[in-house]
């Protein structure tokens, strides 16, 4: 392992192990407050898990989405944050993106062709599925898509096969 002094992973989500889960139920191990722009200083960050915390249920600040440009993994699920997910995600490096169980609104965002797993479930997203994925489906690497629990409409063409 090469030691560079660079922070590449931040795992600040709730733990699923049994002791931590019991403590979590008692409400004692969640992070809270507002997201800090100090995260922007972590230039080598590729993995960020902030899931199941108690951040202020306000809109994700615009600077946060620019932080995500070099992440391969982002999980901000279960925070009840709100606002729109910008189409900025189109040019990003994501492989796994979990934005589930929040209060994101608006239409489905444009996403990078590199995304392999995308969870947008249990938000308040609306719009037509056909405009979201179908025009790029043969170029995408998407293997897992969860969009249940939203207000989506329309049909989605069959994926896979040639």
pLDDT of residue 45: 92
Residue 143 or residue 112, greater confidence = 143
* CA gap 94, 65 in Å, rounded: 12
User: What's the predicted TM-score (pTM) here?
Assistant: 0.81
Residues 47/8, Cβ–Cβ less than 8 Å: yes
CATH architecture group of domain 9-152:
Alpha-Beta Horseshoe (3.80)
Residues 59/82, Cβ–Cβ less than 8 Å: yes
Determine how many CB atoms are found less than 10 A away from the CB of residue 137: 13
Candidate ranges 6-10, 11-15, 52-56, 90-94; pick with highest mean pLDDT: 6-10
pLDDT digits (tens, 9 = 90+) for 23-80: 455 555 677 778 889 999 999 999 999 999 887 677 888 888 888 778 899 999 998 8
Instruction: Please provide residue 70's backbone torsions phi and psi, each rounded to the nearest 5 degrees.
Output: -115, 10
What are the distances in angstroms from CA 84 to CA 56, 78, 155? 16, 16, 22
- Strand order of the sheet with strand 151-153? 82-84, 103-107, 124-128, 151-153
pLDDT digits (tens, 9 = 90+) for 64-122: 888 877 889 999 999 888 889 887 667 777 789 999 999 999 988 888 888 899 999 99
């Amino acid at each position: 392992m090469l030691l560079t002094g660079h922070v590449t992973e931040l795992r600040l989500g709730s733990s699923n192990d049994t002791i931590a889960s019991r403590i979590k139920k008692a409400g004692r191990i969640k992070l809270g407050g507002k997201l800090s722009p100090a995260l922007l200083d972590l230039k080598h960050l590729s993995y960020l898990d902030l899931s199941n915390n108690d951040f202020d249920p306000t809109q994700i600040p615009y600077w946060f989405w620019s932080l995500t440009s070099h992440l391969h993994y982002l999980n901000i699920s279960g925070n009840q944050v709100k606002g729109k997910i910008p189409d900025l995600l189109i040019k990003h490096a994501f492989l796994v993106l979990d934005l589930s169980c929040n209060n994101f609104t608006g239409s489905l965002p444009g996403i990078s062709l590199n995304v392999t797993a995308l969870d947008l479930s249990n938000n308040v997203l609306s719009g037509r599925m056909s405009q979201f994925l179908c025009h790029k489906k043969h170029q995408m690497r998407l293997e897992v898509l969860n969009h249940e629990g939203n207000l989506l409409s329309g049909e989605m063409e069959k994926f896979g096969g040639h």
